[in-house]
Structure 1
Amino acid sequence: MFSPWQLPLPLEEYAMSRVVVYFYNGRWTPIKYCFLEKAIELYYKSLFSSHEVILFPPDLDPNSFSDTA
């Protein structure tokens, strides 16, 4: 998926915030809990391997989203 949105890198004070790295294959699958700094590295590595991962806060479950809004 290509997005025209460009997000700035987070401030250093948030680099040690915990996030969950998810992979989508019909449903969201959590693959790793890590610090935001490491998750950003994983995100960019995944782009080079033609896979896409998405980062979410640990208290947000993307499987609870509804497509029928």
Structure 2
Amino acid sequence: MLRIPQSQILNPEDLETCQCVFDQIWAEAGADYVDGEILASTVLAIFLSGATEDDAELLAAVRARRKDFIKLPS
């Protein structure tokens, strides 16, 4: 059985914050240019690291890592 540390459990408000940031980045870049799985992982990793104090900081931190989840045109 997988055990998740209590500090890693997201409450509904946390999930809403992460979803809002994901949706905003998705809308800005367009579905054709975003790897959704990597974007979701990036949002969660930054959120869980505690590196951000609010939604705006989380959004800025995710935007700073655009190169990680933006697909190059083929």
TM-score under structure 1 normalisation?
0.29
* Bigger share in helix: 2
Larger RCO (CA within 8 A; separation ≥ 6): 2
TM-score normalized with structure 2 length? 0.27
